[in-house]
Chain A
Amino acid sequence: MTDVQPQLTVNQAALRARRKATSALMLSLTGVMTLLAVVPLLSIIGYVVYRGGKSLDLSFFTQLPKPLGMEGGGVLHALEGTIVMTTLAAIFATPPGILAAFYSAYHPNTPLGVALRFSTDVLSGVPSIVIGLFGYAVIVVPARHYSGLAGGAALAILMLPTIIRTAEEMLKMVPHSLREASLALGAPEWKTALSVVFPAALNGIITGFLLAVARAAGETAPLLFTALGNERYDVGMIIRNGVAQNQSVLQIIGRIVDQPVDSLPLTLWKYAQQPYPERIEQSWAIALVLMILVLALNIFARLWVESRKRRLQG
């Protein structure tokens, strides 16, 4: 007994030491890898801030582009275009996306449900340039002109898979008992869906929605063949002209969306190809603005969900 015990402890000690060493090794390995994974993001952010920060000032957000060699000038047209087209895309994509998610969450094993899930997966894998060409063939050619409307529709197709998949997951996570309780109290199914299941899943749905918006706001390819771009796009001027000509609100909205429109990534893409250093500088600044926009959307989505969670719990 006395012979065995010390030997055991030696063994145990050795074992423990080895385990500790392995643990330390793996921990540091995962730590290093985590750092490696974070480094690209941080270095991108750092470099874009460094290169883009120089040309950022107020006029960058409030002025239309000026010709080369002239001081000042901004990307107001692209900022407005991005807002117009992502708004359109959100209006187009959200209702069908959420309804499809309801169907696919309620009837996952019906043929239509399976087909829906399959086609959503396929759609999310379609290269965005193909979606742009689709928009060109289906909207731009029949209408015989490029427009923000066509761009918004292309972005909406791009947003659909994200919205459907996240909303479906969130709807599925709503406890079955909640639904049954509502039905047992005599609420019809539509009322249950609308006022019990939907609000319970709203947090996640909105997160998914904002992520989809952020993705759409950063896309170039679908817009090349649909929105085209427009350096002279000026929503303020359209509204002023419309008011001066006594146009109705619908007519003014029509003029805002039914002409070629620019966007931040589109302008960035165009400027970065030009041989002039001023344009290259500005394209870095656009990259910075775009990055801040997308980051802000992401952070806002998270904060919003957190605060709602706290309110629901408290």
Chain B
Amino acid sequence: MRKILFVLVAVAMLLSACGGAQPTATPTAAPTAAPTTAPAAVPTVAPTATPLPPGSIQINGAGATFPLPVYTEWAYAYQYVDPSVVINYQGIGSGGGKKAIIDGTVDFAGSDSVLKDEEYQAGKDLQMYPILAGAVVVIYNINWAQPFPADAKIPTLVLDRQTLVDIYSAKITKWNDPAILALNPDLGGYLPDASITVVHRSDGSGTTEIFTKALSAFSPEWKTNVGAGASVQWPVDKAGNGVGSKGNQGVAAAVQNTPNSLGYVELSYAVSNKLAYAAMRNKAGKVVQADAASVQSAMADFAGAFDAKLTANIVDAPGEGSWPIVGYTYLILHTTSMEDCLKARKLLEYIRWSLTDQGAGKRAAELGYAVLPPAVRDNVLAKLGEVTCKGQPVLK
């Protein structure tokens, strides 16, 4: 009897307390709500007729954090180009973005790392589109052995490809190593007799992938012993002078706070944190600085190197002005299975705008990114034109 009464209390309270908003109703409400709101507007509003109300098409993307600042700015600027579209891009990491686009929970994903074969299979009709490129730079913090003259500008540290590999392989462990001294005659007497603390990422990251790809290209020995990937077994960790840190920000902070240390970050982190970053002697034997021009030079060197999937490895470029540690950041789309054709068209228009609009490119360059050289961009635009929705090409 008591039990029955209790059940009655339970039912009564459920009805009185939560009324219509029963939690059990929500999971089923979510899938049904989307189709009723969005496509209902599609047939009634013809593509070229009266403009859509502002903010009526929500396009969601997620993924790499590296291009997040510029994607956010583009999204903000695009509301003045096409007020009906809201672009929402969230930096959850390249891995998260790839998972989301495979699961179909976002309309587009951003990624610094290339899809693996099994990911292509899982996602069925995925295509990567290079959008921007960025440089990875080596930042350093040295306690100089003697003070520089008051009026002198401190020379920038120069490294070459083999020296960088040797530092990360723990073969070079002192700042005054002959190999470093030979590259930096100006710094003779200033480089301390101190061991190098080598900072690397502790989390899986696209930055690490670009950096280790470069090291693999610089040295066959690194390629066989360590290899390239989002996270690797660092030889410096075994040697005892390696330090792991989380995120670009973490590496920048670790280098800032550790005397006589060195680490690698995306260029924008080095610039905005006002850290000293090294120049590199590239494959052509020229000393180059990391900037938009040297990154673009690297992209141009590899403009013909795209495979059928439109991905390319652009480290260790042969050009004289090319920065050697460069990577593309990609957008990932479903090419044939997008269901909402209006949304698909708006999304592709946005991507086309971000690739071709002069203001968009200028702003990206100001933030430290390199836009695609024309040859590469035309490749990407042609590939975008192949996207279909319900069998029809999306961009006409």
Interface check A66, CB cutoff 8 A: yes
Residue numbers in A under 8 Å from B9 (CB-CB): 102, 189-190, 193-194
Residue numbers in B under 8 Å from A232 (CB-CB): 55, 75, 79, 86-88
Decide if B105 touches A275 in the complex (CB within 8 Å): no
Contact of B31 among A92, A106, A142, A275 (CB under 8 A): A142
Contact of A231 among B5, B72, B269, B271 (CB under 8 A): B72
| Chain A contact surface mostly | helix
Task: Flag B42-59 by CB within 8 Å of A: 1 or 0 each.
Answer: 000000000001111010
- Interface footprint category on A: 35 or more
Q: In whole angstroms, how far apart are the Cα atoms of A232 and B133 in the complex? A: 26
Decide if B27 touches A142 in the complex (CB within 8 Å): yes
Contact of B33 among A156, A230, A234, A254 (CB under 8 A): A254
- In chain A, what residue has the closest Cβ to B107? A145
Decide if B268 touches A145 in the complex (CB within 8 Å): no
Interface check B146, CB cutoff 8 A: no
Residue numbers in A under 8 Å from B34 (CB-CB): 143-145, 258
Residue numbers in B under 8 Å from A156 (CB-CB): 23
Decide if A230 touches B55 in the complex (CB within 8 Å): no
- In chain B, what residue has the closest Cβ to A138? B27
Residue numbers in A under 8 Å from B58 (CB-CB): 259-260
Decide if A189 touches B26 in the complex (CB within 8 Å): no
Decide if A241 touches B5 in the complex (CB within 8 Å): no
Q: In whole angstroms, how far apart are the Cα atoms of A107 and B10 in the complex? A: 14
Q: In whole angstroms, how far apart are the Cα atoms of A199 and B249 in the complex? A: 51
Residue numbers in B under 8 Å from A251 (CB-CB): 37
Return B169 CB to nearest CB of chain A, in Å: 28
- In chain A, what residue has the closest Cβ to B3? A107
By CB atoms of chain B within 10 A, which of A93, A102, A146 has the most? Answer: A146
Interface check A6, CB cutoff 8 A: no
Known: A92-B23, A237-B55, A260-B88. A273 touches B30 (CB 8 A): no
Q: In whole angstroms, how far apart are the Cα atoms of A95 and B10 in the complex? A: 10
Contact of A103 among B6, B18, B104, B272 (CB under 8 A): B6
By CB atoms of chain B within 10 A, which of A138, A150, A228, A245 has the most? Answer: A228
Q: In whole angstroms, how far apart are the Cα atoms of A188 and B29 in the complex? A: 37
Residue numbers in B under 8 Å from A145 (CB-CB): 34, 60, 105-106
Residue numbers in B under 8 Å from A147 (CB-CB): 30
Decide if B53 touches A144 in the complex (CB within 8 Å): no
Q: In whole angstroms, how far apart are the Cα atoms of A146 and B69 in the complex? A: 21
Residue numbers in A under 8 Å from B284 (CB-CB): none
Task: Flag A146-158 by CB within 8 Å of B: 1 or 0 each.
Answer: 1101100100100
Interface check A274, CB cutoff 8 A: yes
Decide if A190 touches B5 in the complex (CB within 8 Å): yes
Residue numbers in B under 8 Å from A143 (CB-CB): 30-31, 34
Residue numbers in A under 8 Å from B154 (CB-CB): none
Residue numbers in A under 8 Å from B29 (CB-CB): 149, 254
Return B32 CB to nearest CB of chain A, in Å: 9
Decide if A67 touches B73 in the complex (CB within 8 Å): yes
Decide if A275 touches B269 in the complex (CB within 8 Å): yes
Q: In whole angstroms, how far apart are the Cα atoms of A234 and B31 in the complex? A: 22
Q: In whole angstroms, how far apart are the Cα atoms of A238 and B252 in the complex? A: 40
Interface check B306, CB cutoff 8 A: no
Decide if A146 touches B27 in the complex (CB within 8 Å): no
Interface check A196, CB cutoff 8 A: no
Contact of A273 among B53, B65, B86, B105 (CB under 8 A): B65
Contact of A275 among B53, B88, B248 (CB under 8 A): B248
28 intermolecular pairs with C-beta atoms under 8 Å apart: A65-B76, A67-B77, A99-B13, A106-B6, A107-B6, A140-B105, A144-B31, A145-B60, A147-B30, A153-B23, A188-B5, A189-B6, A190-B9, A194-B9, A194-B12, A224-B92, A228-B88, A232-B88, A241-B55, A245-B53, A251-B37, A254-B33, A254-B37, A270-B90, A273-B247, A274-B68, A274-B69, A275-B273
B-contacting residues of A (Cβ < 8 Å)?
Answer: 65-68, 91-96, 98-99, 102-103, 106-107, 136, 138-147, 149-150, 153, 156, 188-190, 193-194, 224-225, 228-232, 234, 237-238, 241, 244-245, 251, 254-255, 258-260, 270, 272-277
A-contacting residues of B (Cβ < 8 Å)?
Answer: 2, 5-6, 8-10, 12-14, 17-18, 21, 23, 26-27, 29-31, 33-34, 37, 53-56, 58, 60, 62, 65, 68-69, 72-73, 75-77, 79, 86-88, 90-92, 96, 103-106, 247-249, 252, 266, 268-269, 271-273, 367
Interface contacts beyond A231-B88, A275-B266: sample of 12 additional A-B pairs, CB < 8 Å, sorted by A: A136-B105, A140-B105, A189-B2, A190-B8, A225-B92, A232-B55, A232-B87, A232-B88, A237-B55, A275-B272, A276-B69, A277-B272
Closest 6 CB pairs of A and B: A190-B9, A143-B30, A275-B272, A95-B18, A275-B269, A92-B23
